[in-house]
Amino acid sequence: MLSPTEIVKTIQTIDYSLITGFNEIKDLVFDSRKVITPNQSLFFAIKTSNDDGHKYIEELFHKGVINFVISEPIKNFSKWNANFYRVSDPILALQQLAIQHRKNFTYPVIGITGSNGKTTVKEWLAQVLTDDFNIVKNPNSFNSQIGVPLSVWQMSAKDTIGIFEAGISQLGEMEKLEPIIQPGIGILCNIGDAHAAHFSGIHEKLNEKLKLFKHAKFLVYCADHTLIHYVIQEQQYHKIQKLSWGFHEDALYQINHIDKQRSKTIIHFNGFEYALEIPFTDDASIENCCHIAATLLHFKYSIPEINGKLSSLTHLSMRMEIKEALNRSIVINDTYSLDINSLKIALDFLGTQSQFEKKTLILSDFDQVNLSDDDYLHIAQIVKEHHIKKLVLVGEEMSKKTAVFDVPKKIVFQTTDQLLQHLTEININFEAVLVKGARKFQFEKVVRAVQLKSHQTVLQVDLGAITHNLNYYRSLLEPNTKLMAMVKALSYGLGDSELINELRYHNIDYLAVAYVDEGVALRKRKINTPIVVLGAEAAGFSTMIQYQLEPEIFNFHYLNKLAETLQLFPEKQNYPIHIKIDTGMHRLGFDPDSVLELTNFLKQYPQMIVASVFSHFAASEDPNEDHFTIHQATIFQNTCDIIEKELGYSFMRHIANSAAISRFKQFHFDCVRLGLGLYGYTAVKEDQLKLQNTITLKSIITQIKNVKKDDTIGYNRTFVVQNEMNIAIVPIGYADGYPKELSNGKGFMIVKGKKCPVVGKICMDMTMIDVTGIDVHEEDEVIIYNDQNNLNIISESIQKSPYELLTAISKRVQRIYIRD
């Protein structure tokens, strides 16, 4: 804990104002939504291209926060009776506090970096050491300029080892992270192309990452990576003892032979009596396990002891997943690790699921050993502050601590098997369930037991990628320009409330749906963001008024009907409507010539107020049609001016769609509408390079067949086998939304990284693919759409749009939402 006066001494303040110096700081916070203990929190008002933390100071002050690190003049906040510390860079101030905190501890600290595998190595290493150490580590992938200091801030005297990963994306970043982590032992994972955009080449990137080990005494790395091994021999790294492994003759732990078996890999090292046994056969997992083995050898574990620890490892899903569960519920799967920091993060995410009043937490004993009574009181306070209604505790330690948890309902089990045997007693019904457990409790079994049993084909939606795309477009806007997200047709097929909660969490201004039923469904799921109904019909006006939905009005017929309906609700005043103007697309909208008639009508019905006037670009993505786009915008602007003059008040104006957000910044006006771009697809090539793929459609192999030369495959015998081949049957077909146009080699799926062409006609529920020459088995994963098999490319090949492919994905394909 730090006092305000100690904060002043630690960070480089330009100015400060202390109203009180007696409260101590426990939590460092940069996200206003994640303040748990206001009077013990220090808030960092960080400015980014998408947001400004200073605008949340008033809200946080009223919640009880009284300590703020700011970069704007203190006089701007003088009306609030709080402590302010003005600095040039709040992120740097956060790092300075973490550096000072790190100096308090002398136990071993392991630093991990690299392009791929660092989070897996961190989590696996923590798992194999958990019985022998009290471990502090980054929660999830908190490895950034902000994530690392927040992670190191959690170091305490009760811990006996620290394991921290560090990620960078440009020059100069690792020099800031090294003094925060100060690792004595380093692990360098492989160096690849990830985050390479800001480096001149892989050599520069490697040198930047190696700065993490500037003061380290030991370094684990694979000597078979030629560039890494070459650079490590330079003079500046001579003082570091190399704990290298590999086939290379210079490797400290030299590999003599590798034997890949059905489900494990045996590695023979020169000079060792016993072989290393790794419970994986893929190259990435083998490399990660070798890093761990070399580290454990340094800690004087024997090979048999290491084998015993590695045997418990499983592939990690290092993202939280939301899945449909029993009785209209959802289950949040966050089962790959458990510590206090990751519990906070998971509970924050659970809290965003506002469509459910009931929140249930299934919690096991912690990864850390020897938690103190104060630790359990802290855990109980976190659970209480997140309004958990039902708590299921599993494990010997948790069963002893039941009394400290103040929740309406508590259920206790000694083991996971006992929980599974009595699952019905938990009575899951229309609630959000967070499953959070240490690896040894194998809570993935609990997730499987409570999730809906469904189709093996699933659509995985990456909420982090959705957020990235939202922030990309937001970065192109002026601060006061509002953003309306198009979430019609189940958010273009990606889902409704689970996805929309993520948008709400990131302060979306408006949502737009096509029909009344879509808006009502969101309201019933407690989505309270303003919702515009773009396909408003007279039959639904009464329902829209009751559910506070805002209609698009595009002709006089519906305007009359709405006026008549509003008379049935005399208590409704200033009911917001959105006027559509036809500027040349000729789909829906009032003609510009009719606006005087329109405004005269509106003046007669004061129950209605124009919230916005908008139109729709016909071809804003096409440079060949720019003259027409500009023509549309001119008509729109002139029409809006007339309406505003006649009505005597201002309203929101919007015409820009996803393409126009980047191509026509002069036409952003008061609001923009973000559609397909939000979901990762656009016809604007410059934008497409900056967007992230949001979906992975995947399935499994249900059967493998050998087909002889001259045999035929599929309906109508349209595919004749030219040479003997092996085919795999995948349970997805046109009833799932997989287009028949991809039949007979037009499309492909990905199995074990290899492209496998579709053979024969796509059936209603199944598709056959060519897996000749690939070592595949039943239940192996099959990727149908992802980064490599991108919807933009697929849609071009069959003359469809990404809209069509996304919205065609059937409801019987379960949506799973993932978040880092």
Query: Which positions are catalytic?
Result: 488, 715
Among candidate residues 610, 615, 595, 592, the one with its CA nearest the CA of residue 651: 610
- What would the DSSP string read from start to end of 604-647? T-TTEEEEEEE---SSTT-GGGHHHHHHHHHHHHHHHHHHHHHH
Number of Cβ within 10 Å of residue 688's Cβ equals 14
DSSP state of 33: G
Cα distances from 131 to residues 303, 309, 367, in angstroms, run 17, 10, 8
* Residues forming a β-bridge with 277: 266
Burial class (CB in 10 A: 0-12, 13-18, 19+), 587: exposed
- What would the DSSP string read from start to end of 134-184? -EEE-STT--STTHHHHHHTT--TT-SEEEEE---SBTTHHHHHHHHH--S
* Residues forming a β-bridge with 750: 755, 783
For 792, residues 6+ apart whose C-beta sits below 8 A from its C-beta are 681, 688, 802
Number of Cβ within 10 Å of residue 697's Cβ equals 24
Tell me the helix, strand and coil percentages in the chain, rounded to 5.
35, 25, 40
Q: Is the dihedral of CA 808, 464, 323, 388 positive or negative?
A: negative
Q: What is the 3-state secondary structure (H, E, C) of 700-760?
A: ECCEEEEECCCCEECHHHCEECCCCEEEEEECCCHHHCCCHHHCCCCCEEEECCEEEEEEC
* Residues forming a β-bridge with 608: 575
- What would the DSSP string read from start to end of 190-201? ---STT-TBSSS
Cα distances from 593 to residues 182, 393, 639, 648, 762, in angstroms, run 70, 68, 9, 19, 51
- What would the DSSP string read from start to end of 494-541? T-SHHHHHHHHHTT--EEEESSHHHHHHHHHTT--S-EEETT--GGGH
CA distance linking residue 93 with residue 86, whole number of Å: 10
For 291, residues 6+ apart whose C-beta sits below 8 A from its C-beta are 117, 121, 187, 189, 220, 221, 222, 245
Both structure tokens of 639: 């029409």
DSSP state of 451: B
Both structure tokens of 758: 């579709």
Name the CA radius of gyration of the chain, rounded. 29
CA distance linking residue 148 with residue 140, whole number of Å: 11
Amino acid, res. 105? F
Cα distances from 650 to residues 391, 615, 646, 769, in angstroms, run 51, 17, 10, 59
CA distance linking residue 67 with residue 85, whole number of Å: 8
- What would the DSSP string read from start to end of 328-379? TEEEEEE-S---HHHHHHHHHHHHT-TT-S-EEEEEE--SSSS--HHHHHHH
CA distance linking residue 609 with residue 611, whole number of Å: 6
